[in-house]
Chains A and B, each alone.
Chain A
Amino acid sequence: MFDLFLLTLACFGVGGLGALVAARSPTLARIVGHVSALLGAISALTFGVAGLAGGSMQLNIPDLLPIGGAAFGVDRLSAFFVLIIAVGAIPAALYAIGYTREYAGKHSLAGIGFAFNIFIAAMILVPLARNVLTFLALWELMSLASYFLVITEPEREDTLSAGWVYFVMTHAGFAALFLGFLLLAQTTGSIHFTEWSAAAAQLDPDSRNLVFVLLAIGFGSKAGVIPLHIWLPRAHPAAPSHISALMSGVMIKLGVYGLLRVAFDWLGAGPLWWGGMMLIVGAVSGVLGVLYALVDPDLKRLLAYSSVENIGIIMLGVGAAMLFQATQLPGLAALALVAALYHTLNHAAFKSLLFMGAGAVLHAAHTSNMEDLGGLIKRMPQTAALFLVGSLAIAALPPFNGFISEWLTFQSLLLSFQISAHTVNLIFALGVAALALTSGLAVACFVRAFGITFLALPRSDRAEHAYEVDWTMRAAMALLALICIVLGVAPSLVLTPLEAIVFELTSAHADMRFNLTAVVANGEFGWVAPLWIGLGLVMFLLAIPLALRLLGANQRRRYYETWGCGRALQTARFEYTATAFANPFKRVFAVLYRPIKDLDIEFHPESRYFVRTIEYYNEGRLIFEDALYRPLLGVIETLARRARVLQSGNVHSYLVYILVALVALLIFAV
């Protein structure tokens, strides 16, 4: 395992430095940087698989970092997350080879290659970190590298402000993490993660709760739970598509990794309100995330909000697991955890696929605004088919992978009836309702995303002239689509290692049985046989047209125009728009969106009976920014303005400040 570790780091090192060295030749920088990253990711995949099979590794470099040096280690959970990162990084690197070609001459491909390699390497090292400073240093490195990648195209309209919001939010989270870690290190007396689980049991409840809240805020902001999500819908659309895929599919999962470590490893079993809070946060994120995705006309921002939704679903599983652990039902806790981890892997696969598809659309049609797209299925048939696979997977429809993880999440939530505390039961019931609403709305959201973007007629010239993208991008998407299908019909491939991971974390066996074809939860509570469903679907799909042909049904097919009530013209203006499709939701959930409607009618100058144009705006307001962040920023600004008094510009007052500070420190230290 150690040699795989070194090989991975070496590949990324070669990639990063090689890209910088080849700065003169953009093509060389692009190829070296990304191919090296691809090889490094493959090596990381092997490392992850070896770790899941039970391999171990320990590495301590005493003087690399202050206070304890750098410490690395691997256990099953870390190996799983390295695997997830690799599953996201391999297609991303492959995709990037083709996608970044158009940056030659406009942006520095050497810098892009360098940052790309640092980003993935840092992400891979984060789950392997085993003491406070290693973790924090790598976390910060990951955030910085991703910041530079987000602002790759600063000439685009909102990129710089999106990058800024991302920068601030990730550092606010970092501050919370820093405080939490320091508090925990101080109270347990150690900075090594391995020593925390034993020491945490002796902590007093107040500091445990405080640490939990701080770390939850820190990791939650990285994961993108509501209300700490505001950077997601800004940063992900601004970044290049493969970076969005990596951030959305992989980086936010490291927030989940942190939360799992906090709840199940470092702090031990906590009081009921920890799990309840996680579950409620998950439910709210799930529903609100998909509701915002439903009304957004930009394809990439829609996918970013959908990531918030899926993190919500993962949090539902994690919260359920914590609640089960707190109520002494370890088998069910393990089941819920399996569901959450499975969904983490699944989301990495299909969200990366969807972002890459959106990137392909952006590449070919030069716009990601769905109001200008349409008809792409005829111009980019393979991309469309792959995007369809991703949409089916994220809508949790059989026989794809999203269905299995949502099914498992449902089963673990439904099994909550074994708890006999009424408040907890009610919270679980609301969790079931929230998950159901989320999955229904996700179906609607992706019917809209796929249907408006790819089907019917193109709504603009740019969409009309779209073309199929090159083979590296399609190959990357095909790889992910294959993963979605395989994980959907053969879940046992993932469930076997997940059982081992969960056993390591909670010392309990998940309450389920499975074999190659079927999964059964909790004795006889519920079962599903995804392979059989898949085979059944294929069998009937082939049998029905055959039967019709044999029974003599009329096989003639004639092409004619769409039925438009005999109207002479059929243009794209008659199609349903993305805004119109979302209208029922906007009306039903108006209390949430608080839409601002505006109607602009321009009349013909000579007569008010003739109308030239009508423009209709129906935009939702961002309630979290308005209600939470703006007041907060206002307070900070007011405080800063008051504090400006201290910056008098007078050297003498500064000397007085230094004197006062010195005296105070001396008194305090002595």
Chain B
Amino acid sequence: MFTEIAIELFQLLLVAFGSPLLVGVIRKAKARLQGRRGAPIFQPYADIRKLFSKEVVVSENSSWIFRFTPYLLATTMLLAALIVPVLTTSAPLGFMGNIVALMYLFLLGTFFLALAGLDAGSAFGGMGSSREVAIAALAEPTVLIAIFGIALRAGTTSLDGIIIRFAAEPLLMLNAGHLLAFFAFFIVALAENGRLPVDNPATHLELTMIHEAMILEYSGRLLALVEWAAGMKLFLFLTLISNLFFPWGVALSNTPIALMIAFFALALKLLLFAGAIALLETAVAKLRLFRVPELLAGSFTVALLAVVTSFFLK
């Protein structure tokens, strides 16, 4: 009992303190690809630490929702960290929700962030909110059809159950549907986390911003919480993709050896994904805003294909 709580706590701390490192690694990889030395990989930690020591400047037009949202964002991400099987499939709090519940938990954060963007009454914030909810809404069908595809093959929508099933019968993963579902999910991960080609996280031009536009008014510890929550969201999405689609290494029991293997396997998988994202962001330009629905519709078609193939190849 105690070991399980300790493991759950360790998973939470891993997500909480590991996500800035993931962001730092992606930035470093991008910098190297751009031919420059780049910031050290622990830079995001320094950024967050510095932000906690700054004061908060709040707009006079905004309300309690503006100040509440960063705490809610961090809360939903930490709660999601308890549900997602980061290292092990037998975390005691994993029963809180299945993958559908997880997606809705992320949507809760998006709802409040969009409200916070509107709260200060600036045109940038409203624009960011409008675009963010449009993309989130259009990504939903893809996510759920991809989940349908996974559930068809694994016979369950519980996160632990999917990993256990796939790890036990690897041949279930060896078909086109699985790969298609992976691609669809990856595109959704890019859209939900504001990465290229949907949104440029490093842009300074407000008219090209989506996620950044909503947080232009934040400062100090509120900004630190928002940035941290965004990092955790990326970490959780990539962990979800790597553990659901490539479940090798995930601990199926709670022995120390299994957990260590799980830790290193996760590190390796995240490193590979970080590299892939850095490469993609360097090679691809941001899509025009009204081309993004086409991208999402394409990923929806891919996911639907995944589902249909599993129907007809049963």
Give the residues in chain B near A561, CB-CB below 8 Å: 59-61
Is A598 interfacial (CB 8 A cutoff)? no
Contact call A536/B122, Cβ cutoff below 8 A: no
Interface check B261, CB cutoff 8 A: no
- Judge whether A377 and B129 touch: CB under 8 Å: no
From B130, which residue of chain A is reached at the shortest CB distance? A581
Interface residues of B in 36-56 (CB under 8 A from A): 52-56
Task: Report the stretch among B143-151, B232-240, B243-251 that lies at the interface.
Answer: B143-151
Residue of chain A at shortest CB distance from B157:
A526
Q: Determine whether the beta carbon of B141 is less than 8 Å from that of A440.
A: yes
Query: Contacts A397-B111, A429-B148, A432-B148 hold; do A527 and B59 have CB atoms under 8 A apart?
Result: no
B130 near A584 (CB under 8 angstroms)? yes
Contact of B220 with A554 in the complex, beta carbons under 8 Å = yes
B189 within 8 A of A: no
**B97 and A587 form a contact (CB under 8 A):** no
Out of B126, B134, B225, which one reaches A544, CB within 8 Å? B225
**Among A432, A524, A525, A584, which residue has its beta carbon within 8 angstroms of that of B145?**
A432
Give the distance in Å from the alpha carbon of A341 to the alpha carbon of B18 in the complex: 43
The residue in chain B whose Cβ has the minimal distance to the Cβ of A391 is B111
Q: Does residue B9 face the partner (Cβ distance < 8 Å to A)?
A: no
In angstroms, Cα B144 to Cα A406, docked, is: 13
A623 within 8 A of partner (CB): no
Q: Is the CB of B126 within 8 A of A562?
A: no
Sample of 20 A–B contacts (CB below 8 Å):
A378-B63, A433-B144, A439-B107, A447-B111, A447-B133, A451-B119, A526-B100, A529-B95, A532-B95, A553-B221, A554-B54, A559-B58, A560-B57, A562-B61, A562-B122, A576-B125, A584-B289, A584-B290, A585-B134, A588-B138
Of B70-78, B269-277, B278-286, the stretch lying at the interface with chain A is B70-78
| B104 interface residue (CB < 8 Å to A) | yes
Lowest 6 A-B CB distances belong to which pairs? A576-B126, A456-B121, A440-B140, A440-B137, A451-B118, A436-B144
A570 within 8 A of B: yes
Name A533's closest neighbour in chain B (CB-CB): B96
- Interface membership of B31, Cβ < 8 A: no
Q: Is there contact, CB below 8 Å, between B144 and A528?
A: no
Within the complex, which residue of A377, A411, A557 is in contact with B65, where a contact is CB–CB below 8 Å?
A377
Distance between Cα atoms of A433 and B297 in the complex (Å): 12
- A580 touches which of B97, B115, B126, B289 (Cβ 8 Å): B126
Whether the pair A536, B82 counts as a contact (CB closer than 8 A) is yes
Instruction: Tell me, yes or no, whether B307 is within 8 Å of chain A by CB.
Output: yes
Interface string of A569-582 (1 = CB under 8 A from B): 01010111000111
- Interface residue count on the A side (C-beta < 8 Å): 82
- CB distance B156 to A526 under 8 Å? yes
**Chain B: residues with CB nearer than 8 A to chain A?**
52-65, 71-72, 74-76, 78-79, 82, 93, 95-98, 100-101, 104-105, 107-108, 110-111, 114-115, 118-123, 125-127, 129-131, 133-134, 136-141, 143-145, 147-148, 151-152, 155-158, 161, 216-217, 220-221, 224-225, 289-290, 293, 300, 304, 307-308, 311-312, 314
Report A-chain residues with C-beta under 8 Å of the C-beta of B221: 548, 553-554
Asked if A284 is an interface residue, CB under 8 A from chain B, the answer is no
Report chain A residues within 8 Å CB of B145: 429, 432-433, 436
Question: In the complex, A557→B134 CA distance in Å?
Answer: 32
The docked-state distance in angstroms from the alpha carbon of A378 to that of B61 is 9
Chain B: CB-nearest residue to A420: B314
CA distance A457 to B63 in the complex (A): 10
The answer, yes or no, to whether A355 is at the interface (CB within 8 Å) is: no
**A540 and B134 within 8 A (CB):** no
DSSP majority for the B interface? helix
* Residues of chain B contacted by A378 (CB below 8 angstroms): 63
Q: Whole-angstrom distance from the CB of B290 to the nearest CB of chain A?
A: 6
Task: Specify which chain A residues have a CB less than 8 angstroms from the CB of B300 in the assembled complex.
Answer: 433
B141–A436 CB distance below 8 A:
yes
A contact residues around B65 at 8 Å (CB): 377, 455
Return chain B residues, CB-CB under 8 Å to A395: 107, 111
Whether A452 is near chain B, meaning CB under 8 Å from some CB there, is: yes
* Selected contact of A584 from candidates B131, B161, B311, CB within 8 Å: B131
From known contacts A558-B58, A580-B126, infer whether A548 and B52 are also in contact, taking CB-CB under 8 Å: yes
- Pair B95/A527 contact, Cβ less than 8 Å: yes
With A558-B58, A581-B129 given, is the CB distance from A444 to B136 under 8 Å? Answer: yes
Task: Provide the bound-state CA to CA distance between A536 and B80, in Å.
Answer: 10
For A451, list chain B residues within 8 Å (CB).
114-115, 118-119, 129
Contact with B along A491-503 (1 / 0, CB 8 A): 0000000000000
CB-CB contacts of A536-557 with B at 8 A, as 1s and 0s?
1100110011001001011011
Contact call B118/A411, Cβ cutoff below 8 A: no
Which residue on A lies nearest to B290, using beta carbons?
A587
Which residue from chain B places its CB closest to the CB of A397 in the assembled complex?
B108
Query: Is there contact, CB below 8 Å, between B61 and A536?
Result: no
**Contacts A411-B157, A572-B121; is A580 near B130 (CB within 8 Å)?**
yes
Give the complex CA separation of A583 and B137 in angstroms: 14
Whether B139 lies near A440 (C-beta < 8 A) is yes
Residues on B with C-beta less than 8 A from A164 are none
Contact B118 A518, beta carbon cutoff 8 Å: no
Contact: B293 with A558, CB < 8 Å? Answer: no
CB neighbours of B52 from chain A (8 A): 548, 551, 553-554
Judge whether A441 is part of the interface by a CB distance below 8 angstroms: yes
When the two chains form their complex, are residues B58 and A440 in contact, meaning their CB atoms are under 8 A apart? no
A576 contacts B97, CB within 8 Å? no
| The one of B110, B120, B308 that contacts A456, using a Cβ cutoff of 8 Å | B120
A406 to B103, CA, bound (A): 12
Q: Write out the residue numbers on chain A whose beta carbons fall within 8 Å of the beta carbon of B57.
A: 557-560
**Given A397-B111, A441-B137, A562-B217: A407 in contact with B101 (beta carbons within 8 A):** yes
Given A426-B311, A559-B58, A585-B134; A392-B100 close (CB under 8 Å): no
Q: A398-B97, A554-B56, A557-B58 are in contact. List 13 more A-B contacts (CB 8 A).
A: A436-B143, A447-B115, A455-B118, A456-B118, A518-B95, A525-B151, A528-B98, A533-B79, A553-B221, A557-B57, A560-B60, A574-B121, A585-B137
Which residue of B is nearest A415, CB measured? Answer: B151
Determine which of A450, A528, A554, A559 lies in contact with B101 in the assembled complex, contact meaning CB atoms within 8 Å.
Answer: A528
The reply to whether A576 and B118 form a contact with Cβ atoms under 8 Å apart is yes
Q: Given A553-B53, A584-B130, A588-B134, A527–B98 Cβ distance below 8 Å? A: yes
A471–B304 alpha-carbon span in the complex (Å): 51
The distance in angstroms between the C-alpha atoms of A582 and B126, with both chains bound, is 11
A631 and B131 CA atoms in complex are apart in Å by: 38
Determine the residue in chain B with the shortest Cβ distance to A574: B123
Q: Do residues B158 and A541 form an inter-chain contact, with CB atoms below 8 A?
A: no
Task: Check A425 for interface membership: any CB of B closer than 8 A.
Answer: yes
In the bound complex, residues from chain B placing their C-beta under 8 Å from that of A541 are: 71-72, 75
Q: Are B156 and A524 in contact (CB-based, < 8 A)?
A: yes
Q: For B72, what are the chain A residues with a Cβ–Cβ distance below 8 Å?
A: 537, 541
CA distance in complex: A556, B219 (Å): 11
Q: Which of A441, A456, A558 contacts B119, CB < 8 Å?
A: A456
C-alpha spacing A218/B157, complex, angstroms: 38
Residues on the B chain within 8 Å of A575, using CB: 118, 121-123, 126
A518 shortest CB reach to chain B, Å: 6
Q: Which residue of A lies closest to B79 (CB)?
A: A536
Residues from chain A with a CB closer than 8 A to the CB of B121 are: 374, 455-457, 562, 570, 572, 574-575
A103 is an interface residue with CB less than 8 A from chain B? no
> CB of A597 within 8 A of chain B?
no
| Interface residue? A564 (CB, 8 A) | yes
Query: Assuming the A-B contacts A444-B137, A447-B133, are A581 and B111 also in contact, with contact meaning beta carbons closer than 8 angstroms in the complex?
Result: no
Q: How far is the CB of A282 from chain B (nearest CB, A)?
A: 16
